[in-house]
Chains A and B, each alone.
Chain A
Amino acid sequence: MRSSTVDLVAGTARAAAARRTAAWLAGGLCAAAALAGGWLAPPDAAQGQAQRLMYLHVPAAWVAYVAFAVVLAAGGAYLIGGDLRWDRFARAAAEVGVVLTAVAIGTGSLWGHLVWGTWWAWDPRLVSTALLLVAYAGYLALRRTVSERTGARDGGDHRVARPAAVVGVAGFLLVPVVHFSVVWWRSLHQQATVLAPQRPPIDARMGTALLLAVAAATLVAFCVVLHRVVRLERRLAADAAPERSPARVG
């Protein structure tokens, strides 16, 4: 059906309504996840209430992976097709990914303090996640630096988009390193539960709460990316308008 393919970042009323619907859905999912993770799921036998941090930590880490996958895909699409719209998506996804990586490190640190007995350990998973954060913060810094040096508008210029796409695509190499660090090397961090080849036991209520939280975080991140792209395109359009008008006059 043609009507199902609404351009969600368009400036039309219909697109805005679709974005609002998505935001309400995300809010509803967040409420359901909070209810399931905060009350319906039982506390863990070994870890007690601290295990509830899983419903923040795991979604943050997973959606950060997804966000960096979007940076990879959008960067690749830009490098192949040269459409600057992909570059704007890559930037928005990188922003979301960096924030979520920081959230994953923060919640993980608290969880580690409560259960491991340490805020931080020089463990492969923790160190590689910190490197991931540095890499994509560097990606955002690179965009800004290039745009300030050359006077190019971030999100609307190939001089920013091209090096950013290369760095954004290369940075994704770190994601499998982070994910498999607990398998490849000896680690304090526990291995994956839901995405493990032979799934270790997890209580059904805990698993449901976790999946709800991942779904909620995914939809929230999706809405934030759309919002950021729309804002960026509006700002670029506003910047471009006064430059164009004197040219028309003259």
Chain B
Amino acid sequence: MIRRRAGRAALVAVLLAAGGLLVTGALRDTLTYYRTPAEVLDQPAATGGGRIRLGGDVVPGSLRHDGDLVVFRLAADGHEITVRQRGVPPDTFREGEGAVVEGTLGADGVFHSDHVVVRHGNEYRPSTGPAGPVDAR
């Protein structure tokens, strides 16, 4: 009985350790969900040319369309990176709002992204537009 209990405890310990390893491994990317432009510009080598997430506010006036690309600048803490996004951003994507893009930093310092999500704030204001407000879709 004691041996069985010890075996079971060992099994639980191993499972917990394996689970903990998996969780911390998965969370390493989660805990810094995105990097700021300053971090990406300071250490472009650290990204290793791999896929990263870059977050910041869309600089007002920087948004334009270039063929099927959407080009804009993301800024945070006084640093900016130009982003060339392939594919249509969500309808809530606006200048002055936060966004997180996913892709790679090119050698020219331009970020090539293929996925953009909108990061909205925690302030809620009534819509001032016409009676038919925009559906977020």
Please list the residues of chain A having a beta carbon within 8 angstroms of any beta carbon in chain B: 42-51, 54, 114-118, 121-124, 127, 131, 185-188, 190-193, 196, 200-203, 205-206
Contact = CB atoms under 8 A, between A and B. Distances in A.
B31 A43 contact: no
A75 to B, nearest CB: 20
A183 B90 CA distance: 25
A201 B124 contact: yes
A216 B77 CA distance: 42
Contacts of A185: 30-33
Contacts of A205: 126
Interface of B: 23, 26-27, 29-34, 55, 89-90, 92-94, 97, 100, 115-129, 133-137
Contacts of A45: 125-129
Q: Most B CB atoms within 10 A — which of A47, A50, A131?
A: A47
A99 to B, nearest CB: 24
14 contacts: A46-B97, A48-B136, A54-B124, A115-B92, A115-B120, A116-B118, A121-B117, A124-B30, A131-B23, A185-B30, A185-B32, A186-B55, A200-B123, A203-B126
Binding site secondary structure of chain B: loop
A117 B136 CA distance: 9
A51 B120 CA distance: 11
Contact of A124 (B33, B55, B124, B127): B33
Contacts of A44: 124-127
B123 A202 contact: yes
A42 B125 CA distance: 8
Given A43-B126, A200-B121, A124 B31 contact: yes
Contacts of B129: 45
Contact of A48 (B32, B34, B133): B133
A116 B27 CA distance: 21
Q: Most A CB atoms within 10 A — which of B26, B27, B32, B93?
A: B27
A187 B29 CA distance: 11
Contacts of B92: 46-48, 114-117
A188 B125 contact: no
Contact of B136 (A50, A131, A193, A203): A50
Contacts of B94: 46
Nearest to A190: B122
A192 B121 CA distance: 10
Top-4 shortest CB links A-B: A117-B90, A42-B126, A50-B136, A190-B122
